[in-house]
Structure 1
Protein backbone atom coordinates (compact mmCIF):
# COMPACT_ATOMS: atom_id res chain seq x y z
CA UNK A 1 0.00 0.00 0.00
CA UNK A 2 1.17 3.54 -0.73
CA UNK A 3 0.53 6.66 1.32
CA UNK A 4 -2.76 7.57 -0.36
CA UNK A 5 -4.08 4.01 0.04
CA UNK A 6 -3.11 3.96 3.71
CA UNK A 7 -4.84 7.30 4.34
CA UNK A 8 -7.99 6.21 2.52
CA UNK A 9 -8.06 3.06 4.64
CA UNK A 10 -7.55 5.11 7.83
CA UNK A 11 -10.72 7.04 7.04
CA UNK A 12 -12.62 3.81 6.32
CA UNK A 13 -11.43 1.99 9.45
CA UNK A 14 -12.11 5.01 11.64
CA UNK A 15 -15.61 5.33 10.22
CA UNK A 16 -16.42 1.76 11.25
CA UNK A 17 -14.97 2.35 14.71
CA UNK A 18 -16.92 5.60 15.06
CA UNK A 19 -20.19 3.84 14.27
CA UNK A 20 -19.44 1.12 16.80
CA UNK A 21 -18.61 3.38 19.75
CA UNK A 22 -21.16 6.14 19.13
CA UNK A 23 -23.40 6.57 22.18
CA UNK A 24 -21.84 3.67 24.08
CA UNK A 25 -21.02 3.60 27.78
CA UNK A 26 -17.76 5.50 28.17
CA UNK A 27 -16.77 3.41 31.19
CA UNK A 28 -16.87 0.10 29.29
CA UNK A 29 -13.58 -1.71 30.00
CA UNK A 30 -11.32 -2.68 27.09
CA UNK A 31 -9.98 -6.16 27.98
CA UNK A 32 -7.19 -6.07 25.39
CA UNK A 33 -5.92 -2.79 26.89
CA UNK A 34 -6.45 -3.60 30.58
CA UNK A 35 -5.92 -0.07 31.90
CA UNK A 36 -8.30 1.52 29.40
CA UNK A 37 -11.98 2.25 29.19
CA UNK A 38 -13.82 2.85 25.93
CA UNK A 39 -13.36 6.58 26.52
CA UNK A 40 -9.58 6.08 26.74
CA UNK A 41 -9.62 4.14 23.47
CA UNK A 42 -11.56 6.88 21.69
CA UNK A 43 -9.25 9.54 23.18
CA UNK A 44 -6.22 7.67 21.92
CA UNK A 45 -7.40 7.07 18.36
CA UNK A 46 -8.82 10.54 17.75
CA UNK A 47 -6.09 12.34 19.67
CA UNK A 48 -3.31 10.50 17.83
CA UNK A 49 -4.86 11.28 14.46
CA UNK A 50 -5.02 14.98 15.33
CA UNK A 51 -1.45 14.94 16.61
CA UNK A 52 -0.18 13.29 13.42
CA UNK A 53 -2.22 15.73 11.33
CA UNK A 54 -0.34 18.56 13.05
CA UNK A 55 3.06 16.89 12.65
CA UNK A 56 2.52 16.19 8.96
CA UNK A 57 0.52 19.24 7.99
CA UNK A 58 2.95 21.64 9.64
CA UNK A 59 5.99 19.60 8.55
CA UNK A 60 7.46 19.49 12.03
CA UNK A 61 11.06 18.49 12.60
CA UNK A 62 10.47 17.64 16.28
CA UNK A 63 7.30 16.57 18.08
CA UNK A 64 7.02 18.59 21.30
CA UNK A 65 4.41 21.07 20.07
CA UNK A 66 2.22 18.32 18.60
CA UNK A 67 2.51 16.25 21.78
CA UNK A 68 1.64 19.27 23.91
CA UNK A 69 -1.42 19.92 21.74
CA UNK A 70 -2.87 16.44 22.21
CA UNK A 71 -6.67 16.78 22.23
CA UNK A 72 -8.80 14.39 24.35
CA UNK A 73 -12.17 13.21 23.12
CA UNK A 74 -15.49 14.64 24.30
CA UNK A 75 -16.98 13.24 27.49
CA UNK A 76 -20.35 12.74 25.78
CA UNK A 77 -20.18 9.51 23.80
CA UNK A 78 -22.98 10.84 21.62
CA UNK A 79 -20.32 13.13 20.10
CA UNK A 80 -17.78 10.40 19.46
CA UNK A 81 -18.82 9.55 15.92
CA UNK A 82 -18.37 13.10 14.68
CA UNK A 83 -15.20 13.62 16.71
CA UNK A 84 -13.49 10.50 15.36
CA UNK A 85 -14.61 11.22 11.81
CA UNK A 86 -13.27 14.75 12.08
CA UNK A 87 -9.89 13.48 13.28
CA UNK A 88 -9.55 11.10 10.34
CA UNK A 89 -10.56 13.88 7.95
CA UNK A 90 -7.97 16.22 9.47
CA UNK A 91 -5.29 13.58 8.98
CA UNK A 92 -6.36 12.99 5.37
CA UNK A 93 -6.20 16.73 4.67
CA UNK A 94 -2.72 16.95 6.17
CA UNK A 95 -1.37 14.08 4.08
CA UNK A 96 -2.91 15.57 0.94
CA UNK A 97 -0.86 18.73 1.54
CA UNK A 98 2.56 17.03 1.47
CA UNK A 99 4.65 14.68 -0.64
CA UNK A 100 6.19 11.41 0.52
CA UNK A 101 9.62 13.02 0.70
CA UNK A 102 8.48 16.05 2.72
CA UNK A 103 10.70 16.12 5.83
CA UNK A 104 8.61 15.25 8.90
CA UNK A 105 9.82 13.90 12.26
CA UNK A 106 9.01 10.30 13.09
CA UNK A 107 10.18 7.99 15.89
CA UNK A 108 11.42 5.10 13.74
CA UNK A 109 15.03 6.22 13.53
CA UNK A 110 14.90 5.76 9.78
CA UNK A 111 13.70 9.21 8.72
CA UNK A 112 10.65 7.60 7.12
CA UNK A 113 8.48 10.66 7.72
CA UNK A 114 5.25 10.92 5.75
CA UNK A 115 5.07 7.25 4.62
CA UNK A 116 5.79 6.11 8.18
CA UNK A 117 2.91 8.12 9.62
CA UNK A 118 0.38 7.07 6.97
CA UNK A 119 1.19 3.41 7.65
CA UNK A 120 1.25 3.94 11.42
CA UNK A 121 -2.20 5.56 11.51
CA UNK A 122 -3.56 2.69 9.44
CA UNK A 123 -2.08 0.08 11.76
CA UNK A 124 -3.43 1.98 14.77
CA UNK A 125 -6.93 2.12 13.31
CA UNK A 126 -7.00 -1.61 12.53
CA UNK A 127 -5.65 -2.78 15.89
CA UNK A 128 -7.72 -0.40 17.99
CA UNK A 129 -10.86 -1.34 16.09
CA UNK A 130 -10.06 -4.88 17.24
CA UNK A 131 -9.91 -3.55 20.82
CA UNK A 132 -13.35 -2.01 20.39
CA UNK A 133 -14.69 -5.25 18.94
CA UNK A 134 -13.62 -7.17 22.03
CA UNK A 135 -14.95 -4.49 24.40
CA UNK A 136 -18.33 -4.31 22.68
CA UNK A 137 -18.76 -7.94 21.66
CA UNK A 138 -18.65 -7.08 17.96
CA UNK A 139 -17.35 -9.42 15.24
CA UNK A 140 -14.03 -8.27 13.84
CA UNK A 141 -13.43 -8.60 10.12
CA UNK A 142 -10.52 -7.39 8.03
CA UNK A 143 -9.73 -8.53 4.51
CA UNK A 144 -6.44 -10.40 4.00
CA UNK A 145 -4.57 -7.67 2.12
CA UNK A 146 -5.19 -4.89 4.67
CA UNK A 147 -4.53 -7.39 7.47
CA UNK A 148 -1.10 -8.07 5.93
CA UNK A 149 -0.48 -4.31 5.71
CA UNK A 150 -1.48 -3.82 9.37
CA UNK A 151 0.77 -6.68 10.46
CA UNK A 152 3.63 -5.17 8.45
CA UNK A 153 3.11 -1.94 10.37
CA UNK A 154 3.12 -3.69 13.74
CA UNK A 155 6.24 -5.72 13.02
CA UNK A 156 8.14 -2.89 11.32
CA UNK A 157 7.35 -0.38 14.06
CA UNK A 158 8.28 -2.61 16.97
CA UNK A 159 11.49 -3.78 15.30
CA UNK A 160 12.54 -0.26 14.28
CA UNK A 161 15.78 1.25 15.54
CA UNK A 162 13.85 4.01 17.28
CA UNK A 163 11.66 1.60 19.24
CA UNK A 164 14.69 -0.45 20.29
CA UNK A 165 16.53 2.63 21.53
CA UNK A 166 13.57 4.31 23.26
CA UNK A 167 12.02 1.28 24.97
CA UNK A 168 14.89 -0.35 26.89
CA UNK A 169 12.66 -2.98 28.45
CA UNK A 170 11.72 -4.20 25.01
CA UNK A 171 15.37 -4.24 23.90
CA UNK A 172 16.43 -6.19 27.00
CA UNK A 173 13.71 -8.78 26.45
CA UNK A 174 14.31 -9.16 22.72
CA UNK A 175 18.10 -9.16 22.75
CA UNK A 176 19.36 -12.49 21.44
CA UNK A 177 21.99 -14.38 19.51
CA UNK A 178 20.20 -15.27 16.32
CA UNK A 179 16.92 -16.84 17.43
CA UNK A 180 14.52 -16.56 14.49
CA UNK A 181 10.77 -16.48 13.93
CA UNK A 182 8.91 -16.84 10.65
CA UNK A 183 5.41 -15.41 10.15
CA UNK A 184 3.55 -16.47 7.00
CA UNK A 185 0.12 -15.27 5.85
CA UNK A 186 -1.59 -17.96 3.81
CA UNK A 187 -4.42 -15.92 2.25
CA UNK A 188 -2.45 -12.92 0.93
CA UNK A 189 1.22 -12.28 0.11
CA UNK A 190 3.01 -11.61 3.36
CA UNK A 191 6.01 -13.33 4.96
CA UNK A 192 8.49 -12.06 7.53
CA UNK A 193 11.49 -13.48 9.31
CA UNK A 194 12.46 -11.76 12.56
CA UNK A 195 15.89 -12.47 14.02
CA UNK A 196 16.85 -11.54 17.57
CA UNK A 197 20.35 -10.09 17.63
CA UNK A 198 22.41 -8.40 20.33
CA UNK A 199 21.71 -4.87 19.15
CA UNK A 200 18.41 -5.11 17.26
CA UNK A 201 15.65 -7.28 15.93
CA UNK A 202 16.34 -7.73 12.22
CA UNK A 203 13.19 -8.01 10.12
CA UNK A 204 13.24 -9.44 6.59
CA UNK A 205 10.33 -9.80 4.17
CA UNK A 206 11.21 -13.27 2.98
CA UNK A 207 10.59 -16.99 3.23
CA UNK A 208 13.27 -18.81 5.22
CA UNK A 209 13.64 -21.56 7.75
CA UNK A 210 13.47 -20.40 11.36
CA UNK A 211 13.48 -21.70 14.91
CA UNK A 212 9.72 -21.28 15.04
CA UNK A 213 7.20 -20.64 12.29
CA UNK A 214 3.54 -19.74 12.42
CA UNK A 215 1.34 -19.64 9.36
CA UNK A 216 -2.33 -18.98 8.77
CA UNK A 217 -4.87 -16.31 7.81
CA UNK A 218 -3.49 -12.78 7.90
CA UNK A 219 -6.14 -11.42 10.26
CA UNK A 220 -5.41 -14.17 12.80
CA UNK A 221 -1.70 -13.44 12.58
CA UNK A 222 -2.38 -9.75 13.13
CA UNK A 223 -4.59 -10.29 16.16
CA UNK A 224 -2.27 -12.83 17.80
CA UNK A 225 0.99 -10.95 17.14
CA UNK A 226 -0.57 -7.70 18.36
CA UNK A 227 -1.87 -9.51 21.48
CA UNK A 228 -5.52 -8.91 20.62
CA UNK A 229 -6.28 -12.65 20.53
CA UNK A 230 -4.55 -15.54 22.24
CA UNK A 231 -2.82 -18.14 20.12
CA UNK A 232 -5.04 -20.81 21.66
CA UNK A 233 -8.09 -18.86 20.45
CA UNK A 234 -6.80 -18.84 16.86
CA UNK A 235 -7.01 -22.49 15.78
CA UNK A 236 -6.43 -21.59 12.12
CA UNK A 237 -2.81 -20.71 12.95
CA UNK A 238 -0.23 -23.47 12.69
CA UNK A 239 2.84 -22.92 14.91
CA UNK A 240 5.77 -25.25 14.26
CA UNK A 241 9.06 -25.37 16.13
CA UNK A 242 10.08 -23.67 19.36
CA UNK A 243 6.75 -22.68 20.92
CA UNK A 244 8.49 -21.10 23.93
CA UNK A 245 10.31 -18.71 21.59
CA UNK A 246 7.00 -17.71 19.98
CA UNK A 247 5.34 -17.25 23.36
CA UNK A 248 8.23 -15.03 24.51
CA UNK A 249 7.93 -12.93 21.35
CA UNK A 250 4.19 -12.42 21.75
CA UNK A 251 4.56 -11.64 25.47
CA UNK A 252 6.95 -8.77 24.65
CA UNK A 253 5.29 -7.54 21.46
CA UNK A 254 3.65 -4.92 23.60
CA UNK A 255 2.77 -1.36 22.69
CA UNK A 256 3.64 1.39 25.15
CA UNK A 257 0.15 2.86 25.09
CA UNK A 258 -1.61 -0.47 25.43
Structure 2
Protein backbone atom coordinates (compact mmCIF):
# COMPACT_ATOMS: atom_id res chain seq x y z
CA UNK A 1 0.00 0.00 0.00
CA UNK A 2 1.22 3.50 -0.84
CA UNK A 3 2.32 5.96 1.85
CA UNK A 4 -0.70 8.25 1.43
CA UNK A 5 -3.12 5.35 1.70
CA UNK A 6 -1.44 4.12 4.85
CA UNK A 7 -1.71 7.60 6.37
CA UNK A 8 -5.39 7.57 5.47
CA UNK A 9 -5.81 4.18 7.13
CA UNK A 10 -4.38 5.41 10.43
CA UNK A 11 -7.24 7.92 10.53
CA UNK A 12 -9.86 5.60 9.05
CA UNK A 13 -9.15 2.72 11.42
CA UNK A 14 -9.13 5.09 14.38
CA UNK A 15 -12.48 6.57 13.37
CA UNK A 16 -13.97 3.10 12.90
CA UNK A 17 -12.70 2.16 16.34
CA UNK A 18 -13.93 5.23 18.18
CA UNK A 19 -17.35 5.18 16.51
CA UNK A 20 -17.79 1.57 17.61
CA UNK A 21 -17.03 2.15 21.31
CA UNK A 22 -19.19 5.20 22.01
CA UNK A 23 -21.73 3.14 23.94
CA UNK A 24 -19.31 0.37 24.89
CA UNK A 25 -18.13 -0.67 28.33
CA UNK A 26 -14.66 0.82 28.74
CA UNK A 27 -14.02 -1.50 31.69
CA UNK A 28 -14.65 -4.69 29.67
CA UNK A 29 -11.55 -6.91 29.76
CA UNK A 30 -9.66 -7.46 26.49
CA UNK A 31 -8.98 -11.21 26.22
CA UNK A 32 -6.39 -10.76 23.47
CA UNK A 33 -4.45 -8.26 25.62
CA UNK A 34 -4.49 -9.85 29.08
CA UNK A 35 -4.54 -7.37 31.93
CA UNK A 36 -6.08 -4.55 29.93
CA UNK A 37 -9.62 -3.31 29.64
CA UNK A 38 -11.00 -1.48 26.61
CA UNK A 39 -10.17 1.96 27.98
CA UNK A 40 -6.58 0.94 28.68
CA UNK A 41 -6.31 -0.52 25.19
CA UNK A 42 -7.34 2.82 23.70
CA UNK A 43 -4.86 4.73 25.87
CA UNK A 44 -2.10 2.34 24.79
CA UNK A 45 -2.93 2.81 21.12
CA UNK A 46 -3.22 6.60 21.37
CA UNK A 47 0.00 6.82 23.35
CA UNK A 48 1.79 4.76 20.73
CA UNK A 49 0.48 6.97 17.94
CA UNK A 50 1.73 10.08 19.73
CA UNK A 51 5.10 8.41 20.38
CA UNK A 52 5.49 7.65 16.67
CA UNK A 53 4.42 11.18 15.73
CA UNK A 54 7.15 12.62 17.96
CA UNK A 55 9.78 10.38 16.37
CA UNK A 56 8.82 11.41 12.85
CA UNK A 57 8.26 15.11 13.60
CA UNK A 58 11.60 15.53 15.40
CA UNK A 59 13.53 13.20 13.05
CA UNK A 60 14.58 11.37 16.19
CA UNK A 61 17.85 9.46 16.12
CA UNK A 62 16.84 7.40 19.17
CA UNK A 63 13.48 6.38 20.64
CA UNK A 64 11.82 8.68 23.17
CA UNK A 65 10.49 7.20 26.44
CA UNK A 66 7.44 4.97 26.02
CA UNK A 67 6.39 4.43 29.64
CA UNK A 68 3.26 6.52 29.13
CA UNK A 69 1.66 3.86 26.94
CA UNK A 70 3.19 0.79 28.57
CA UNK A 71 2.10 1.40 32.17
CA UNK A 72 -1.69 1.61 31.91
CA UNK A 73 -2.53 1.27 35.59
CA UNK A 74 -3.82 4.84 35.72
CA UNK A 75 -6.40 4.26 32.97
CA UNK A 76 -8.62 1.62 34.50
CA UNK A 77 -11.82 3.69 34.43
CA UNK A 78 -11.89 5.62 31.16
CA UNK A 79 -14.79 7.57 29.64
CA UNK A 80 -15.48 6.93 25.94
CA UNK A 81 -16.58 10.54 25.49
CA UNK A 82 -13.11 11.65 26.59
CA UNK A 83 -10.80 9.00 25.20
CA UNK A 84 -12.50 8.82 21.79
CA UNK A 85 -11.77 12.43 20.71
CA UNK A 86 -8.29 12.19 22.28
CA UNK A 87 -7.57 9.11 20.19
CA UNK A 88 -8.85 10.70 16.97
CA UNK A 89 -6.74 13.80 17.61
CA UNK A 90 -3.57 11.76 18.00
CA UNK A 91 -4.25 9.72 14.88
CA UNK A 92 -4.85 12.89 12.88
CA UNK A 93 -1.60 14.40 14.11
CA UNK A 94 0.38 11.28 13.23
CA UNK A 95 -1.10 11.07 9.73
CA UNK A 96 -0.52 14.78 9.10
CA UNK A 97 3.11 14.59 10.24
CA UNK A 98 3.75 11.51 8.09
CA UNK A 99 2.25 13.23 5.05
CA UNK A 100 4.35 16.35 5.65
CA UNK A 101 7.65 14.51 6.06
CA UNK A 102 7.02 11.98 3.30
CA UNK A 103 7.93 8.30 3.34
CA UNK A 104 11.70 8.71 2.97
CA UNK A 105 12.45 10.99 5.94
CA UNK A 106 15.39 9.65 7.96
CA UNK A 107 14.22 8.67 11.46
CA UNK A 108 15.00 6.04 14.08
CA UNK A 109 13.18 2.77 13.55
CA UNK A 110 13.30 -0.40 15.67
CA UNK A 111 14.13 -2.45 12.55
CA UNK A 112 16.49 -1.77 9.63
CA UNK A 113 15.33 0.91 7.20
CA UNK A 114 15.28 4.18 9.14
CA UNK A 115 12.52 5.86 7.15
CA UNK A 116 9.19 7.37 8.15
CA UNK A 117 7.41 4.88 5.90
CA UNK A 118 7.88 2.29 8.66
CA UNK A 119 5.60 4.25 11.00
CA UNK A 120 2.90 4.81 8.39
CA UNK A 121 2.57 1.09 7.76
CA UNK A 122 3.16 -0.04 11.33
CA UNK A 123 0.54 2.26 12.85
CA UNK A 124 -2.02 1.68 10.12
CA UNK A 125 -1.94 -1.99 11.06
CA UNK A 126 -1.33 -1.48 14.78
CA UNK A 127 -4.54 0.55 14.82
CA UNK A 128 -6.34 -2.08 12.75
CA UNK A 129 -5.40 -4.93 15.09
CA UNK A 130 -6.24 -3.00 18.23
CA UNK A 131 -9.61 -2.19 16.66
CA UNK A 132 -10.06 -5.93 16.34
CA UNK A 133 -9.11 -6.31 20.02
CA UNK A 134 -11.79 -3.82 21.06
CA UNK A 135 -14.45 -5.38 18.84
CA UNK A 136 -13.71 -8.86 20.16
CA UNK A 137 -13.77 -7.58 23.75
CA UNK A 138 -17.15 -5.90 23.22
CA UNK A 139 -18.63 -8.81 21.27
CA UNK A 140 -18.99 -6.80 18.08
CA UNK A 141 -18.33 -7.70 14.47
CA UNK A 142 -14.90 -6.95 13.05
CA UNK A 143 -14.54 -6.44 9.31
CA UNK A 144 -11.71 -5.09 7.20
CA UNK A 145 -11.17 -4.38 3.49
CA UNK A 146 -9.30 -7.12 1.65
CA UNK A 147 -6.40 -4.94 0.52
CA UNK A 148 -5.84 -3.64 4.05
CA UNK A 149 -5.97 -7.14 5.55
CA UNK A 150 -3.59 -8.49 2.89
CA UNK A 151 -1.08 -5.69 3.47
CA UNK A 152 -1.31 -6.24 7.23
CA UNK A 153 -0.50 -9.91 6.70
CA UNK A 154 2.37 -9.01 4.37
CA UNK A 155 3.79 -6.66 6.99
CA UNK A 156 3.43 -9.32 9.69
CA UNK A 157 5.33 -11.75 7.47
CA UNK A 158 8.06 -9.22 6.68
CA UNK A 159 8.67 -8.19 10.28
CA UNK A 160 8.42 -11.74 11.61
CA UNK A 161 10.98 -13.04 9.12
CA UNK A 162 13.66 -10.43 9.77
CA UNK A 163 16.90 -12.24 10.70
CA UNK A 164 17.17 -10.03 13.80
CA UNK A 165 14.07 -11.75 15.20
CA UNK A 166 16.10 -14.93 15.68
CA UNK A 167 18.45 -12.97 17.93
CA UNK A 168 15.64 -11.23 19.81
CA UNK A 169 13.73 -14.50 20.18
CA UNK A 170 16.24 -17.36 20.04
CA UNK A 171 13.43 -19.86 20.66
CA UNK A 172 12.28 -19.23 17.09
CA UNK A 173 15.29 -21.18 15.84
CA UNK A 174 13.51 -24.31 17.05
CA UNK A 175 11.05 -23.81 14.18
CA UNK A 176 13.71 -24.33 11.51
CA UNK A 177 14.18 -27.78 10.04
CA UNK A 178 13.90 -29.97 6.94
CA UNK A 179 10.46 -30.27 5.42
CA UNK A 180 8.89 -27.57 7.60
CA UNK A 181 6.57 -25.14 5.86
CA UNK A 182 3.21 -23.47 6.46
CA UNK A 183 0.67 -22.47 3.82
CA UNK A 184 -2.06 -19.87 4.46
CA UNK A 185 -4.88 -19.91 1.92
CA UNK A 186 -7.66 -17.29 1.89
CA UNK A 187 -10.98 -18.74 0.84
CA UNK A 188 -12.75 -15.49 -0.02
CA UNK A 189 -10.13 -13.69 -2.12
CA UNK A 190 -7.09 -14.71 -4.22
CA UNK A 191 -4.42 -14.46 -1.50
CA UNK A 192 -1.97 -17.11 -0.32
CA UNK A 193 1.26 -17.19 1.68
CA UNK A 194 3.95 -19.83 2.06
CA UNK A 195 6.18 -19.71 5.14
CA UNK A 196 9.42 -21.59 4.52
CA UNK A 197 11.15 -22.88 7.66
CA UNK A 198 13.65 -25.14 5.90
CA UNK A 199 16.59 -22.72 5.77
CA UNK A 200 18.75 -20.80 8.22
CA UNK A 201 16.13 -18.07 8.63
CA UNK A 202 12.36 -17.81 8.35
CA UNK A 203 11.35 -16.93 4.77
CA UNK A 204 8.02 -16.29 3.13
CA UNK A 205 6.50 -15.71 -0.28
CA UNK A 206 3.11 -15.09 -1.87
CA UNK A 207 2.56 -18.35 -3.72
CA UNK A 208 0.36 -21.41 -4.00
CA UNK A 209 2.66 -24.24 -2.98
CA UNK A 210 2.40 -27.55 -1.17
CA UNK A 211 3.44 -27.34 2.48
CA UNK A 212 3.78 -29.53 5.54
CA UNK A 213 0.63 -27.91 6.89
CA UNK A 214 -2.00 -25.74 5.23
CA UNK A 215 -4.72 -23.66 6.86
CA UNK A 216 -7.72 -22.28 4.99
CA UNK A 217 -10.05 -19.51 6.11
CA UNK A 218 -11.27 -16.09 5.13
CA UNK A 219 -8.63 -13.40 4.81
CA UNK A 220 -9.83 -11.75 8.02
CA UNK A 221 -9.74 -15.08 9.86
CA UNK A 222 -6.18 -15.69 8.71
CA UNK A 223 -5.13 -12.21 9.81
CA UNK A 224 -6.62 -12.72 13.26
CA UNK A 225 -5.05 -16.18 13.43
CA UNK A 226 -1.46 -15.07 12.84
CA UNK A 227 -1.92 -12.23 15.32
CA UNK A 228 -3.30 -14.81 17.76
CA UNK A 229 -6.60 -12.99 18.06
CA UNK A 230 -8.54 -16.15 17.24
CA UNK A 231 -7.86 -19.88 17.71
CA UNK A 232 -7.23 -22.38 14.94
CA UNK A 233 -10.53 -24.09 15.73
CA UNK A 234 -13.13 -23.51 13.01
CA UNK A 235 -10.55 -23.20 10.24
CA UNK A 236 -9.65 -25.96 7.80
CA UNK A 237 -6.25 -27.49 8.57
CA UNK A 238 -4.53 -30.04 6.34
CA UNK A 239 -1.32 -31.83 7.27
CA UNK A 240 0.85 -31.36 10.34
CA UNK A 241 -1.44 -29.50 12.74
CA UNK A 242 1.18 -29.69 15.50
CA UNK A 243 3.61 -27.73 13.32
CA UNK A 244 0.96 -25.05 12.79
CA UNK A 245 0.41 -24.75 16.54
CA UNK A 246 4.17 -24.66 17.18
CA UNK A 247 4.69 -21.98 14.55
CA UNK A 248 1.89 -19.78 15.88
CA UNK A 249 3.25 -20.14 19.42
CA UNK A 250 6.78 -19.08 18.48
CA UNK A 251 6.35 -16.33 15.87
CA UNK A 252 3.73 -14.11 17.46
CA UNK A 253 4.23 -10.39 17.96
CA UNK A 254 1.99 -7.34 18.30
Q: TM-score, normalised by structure 1?
A: 0.86
Moved more, 132-141 or 197-206: 197-206
SS at 1:193 equivalent: strand
Give matches, 1:99-118, under 5 Å: 99-108=102-111, 110-111=112-113, 113-118=115-120
| Distance 1:50-1:173 versus aligned 2 partners, 3 A rule | farther
Asked if 2 retains the 8 angstrom alpha-carbon contact of 1:180 and 1:195, the reply is: yes
Root-mean-square deviation (CA, aligned residues, Å) is: 2.4
Q: 1:128 aligns with which of 130, 136, 147?
A: 130
Quote the Cα distance in structure 1 between the aligned partners of 2:13 and 2:138: 16
Shift of 1:33: 1.6
Q: Any stretches of 5+ residues in structure 1 without a counterpart? A: none
Q: Any stretches of 5+ residues in structure 2 without a counterpart? A: none
1:182 corresponds in structure 2 to 183
Quote the Cα distance in structure 2 between the aligned partners of 1:188 and 1:58: 40
Are residue 153 (structure 1) and residue 151 (structure 2) matched?
Answer: no
Give matches, 1:9-158, under 5 Å: 9-22=9-22, 24-63=24-63, 65-67=64-66, 75-108=78-111, 110-111=112-113, 113-158=115-160
SS at 1:81 equivalent: helix
1:255 corresponds in structure 2 to 253
Quote the Cα distance in structure 2 between the aligned partners of 1:114 and 1:207: 32
Shift of 1:222: 0.5
Shift of 1:158: 2.1
Shift of 1:190: 3.0
Q: TM-score, normalised by structure 2?
A: 0.87
Asked if 1 retains the 8 angstrom alpha-carbon contact of 2:176 and 2:202, the reply is: yes
